[in-house]
Amino acid sequence: MVIGLTGVVIIALFSQYVLFSPAELAGPSFKIATEAFKWGVSGFGNSTVWLIFGVFMFAAGYDKIKFGCRLALFGLLFLV
């Protein structure tokens, strides 16, 4: 997650060289900071991004409380 956020910030900082064409930059009403910010946060409107984030958080909690071990031991109770 940190790597992705770092990538978005770096691209937004160098947006006038990476994201926008010279024709867009020459427009009188074009604001680089506003358009770079819009590009940077546009991915968060996508439901797939939030699905992946939710699954990652669920997996982190699953691992933190060792629920997998408890579930496996509970399953062994029925086998024995």
User: SS3 letters for the chain?
Assistant: CHHHHHHHHHHHHCHHHHCCCHHHHHCCCCCHHHHHHHHHHHHHHCHHHHHHHHHHHHHHHHHHCCHHHHHHHHHHHHHC
What is the band of 32 on the pLDDT scale with cuts at 50, 70, 90? confident
Question: What is the per-residue pLDDT for 1?
Answer: 62
What is the band of 51 on the pLDDT scale with cuts at 50, 70, 90? very high
State percent of the chain over pLDDT 90.
2
pLDDT for 9-21, tens place per residue? 887 777 777 778 8
The more confident residue out of 29 and 39 is 29
